[in-house]
Structure 1
């Protein structure tokens, strides 16, 4: 699903807000033999983000499918160029992974262990399961904040842009 720009933060009953991070959208499929990290276009990203693959492998059990955003932090803000460098780095990739670790900011749980599909469940239910699932996750696998408070969302929009927030979802 792609975000669409709007002029104002929408308000109304049943709405939930989340930051839109400046990164790459990715699905993480936790399998018995590891993690398959897939781009929105269906490409395998695991080679470029071995640090995220390892962190997801430690964070969740097989059968889990996560939806989130890959980001690299540089001086308290996201750095999109560091994501791009991972793809073109070649033999320098290991140094990039060490010096500029990537993080996976997770916002949805599509399947829960041991492979229970959740797409038919309400977002609030998936979010509650995701919060519990990531309670002890390593720092590289982070739960994206969410709020039903339009004031909180508006504050994020106005104050978090310096940290790499592109907008709200």
Structure 2
């Protein structure tokens, strides 16, 4: 492979802002795996956000790209899986598997697609120094759309972007990305803007994990009660300064439950309970050496957290701790408090 832009390459990033800024280029924010595609004839490499190749996990995407992309190019985009009328991030996570036979099976059962949104190189020319306006135009001309390769919808109309922000969440999308039209491509810099939904929920804190580098709290394990009054693990809150992490050790110490009998997550301490998903104490899918041991707490503490959206029964991203809620009865912290977005057909977004 010999391209004007070579792997590995860190993608350009976006910084969070509370509102959609005016007078920019707007696109839906896709909820998948960020991917930079390098193609040189029959050679195709898929690079992830952390610069690791993920080519082997998506053979069907590689085949589709050979039909849809120019023979020599570098494209920035997002790998997603569409199931029914919306995106399925859990199915996408399951595609990262060490066994080739499993990879091939999942490629047939849950095929992925690429949503392209930037063109970084074409033939022998690097486009990274060119304004985004030019790169977008060249992308639209170069891309041959197919059932598994799409150019992301785009608009410069702020009103349309606001409508997308409200409507597209129902199809599993993640908000809006706003880009200056004169923006060159800046790897690993937060040069774009992202606007995501901000909601709050009162959650039970039923455990915590130690920080990987110190004997301080790394993350709080959050739970919500379902309709059968079972406390389900719904996500984590982990963004604390070091001083606050140390304070949390003292605040949580009186609630530690060393004997797991009677704890709602006792079964998760058994190895056989870890086979089905990402539960407290389970092994990380992305790093087999990363320990996720946890400390059980009596389910008596309630905190308010901010979250953007749900993926199934869990928070899609790390929730942001807002405050303790000593006035709340933990048993009243259920899924019924969560806002449900109105369903929206993803096919309408992709123009099918």
Q: Which has the higher contact order (CA 8 A, sep 6+)?
A: 1
- CA distance, structure 2, for counterparts of residue 47 and residue 81 of structure 1: 19
Q: Is the 8 A contact 1:19 1:145 kept in 2?
A: yes
Is 2:81 the counterpart of 1:72? yes
The Cα shift of 1:137 comes to 2.9
> Which residue number corresponds to residue 2 of structure 1?
13
For structure 1, which segment, 52-61 or 146-155, has the greater mean C-alpha deviation from structure 2 after superposition?
Answer: 52-61
Give the secondary structure class of the aligned counterpart of 1:92. helix
Q: Is the 8 A contact 1:34 1:57 kept in 2?
A: no
Structure 1's consecutive aligned runs of 4 or more residues displaced over 3 angstroms after TM superposition are none
> Which residue number corresponds to residue 167 of structure 1?
175
The Cα shift of 1:60 comes to 1.8
Q: Flag structure 1 segments of 5+ consecutive residues without an equivalent.
A: none
The Cα shift of 1:92 comes to 2.0
The Cα shift of 1:116 comes to 1.2
- CA distance, structure 2, for counterparts of residue 151 and residue 137 of structure 1: 27
Number of aligned residue pairs: give it: 165
1:95-137 Cα deviation digits (max 9, x unpaired): 211121100000000001x231111111111111110111x33
- State the superposition RMSD in angstroms: 1.3
Q: Is the 8 A contact 2:35 2:47 kept in 1?
A: yes
- CA distance, structure 2, for counterparts of residue 24 and residue 46 of structure 1: 12
**1:117–1:20: structure 2 CA closer, same or farther, 3 Å change rule?**
same
- CA distance, structure 1, for counterparts of residue 104 and residue 60 of structure 2: 10
Is 2:71 the counterpart of 1:54? no
Q: Is the 8 A contact 2:81 2:111 kept in 1?
A: yes
Specify the structure having the higher radius of gyration (Cα).
2
1:19-66 Cα deviation digits (max 9, x unpaired): 110001000001123211110111111100111111111112332100
> Which residue number corresponds to residue 47 of structure 2?
38
TM-score, reference length from structure 1: 0.92
Q: Is the 8 A contact 1:30 1:65 kept in 2?
A: yes
Greater share of helix residues, 1 or 2? 1
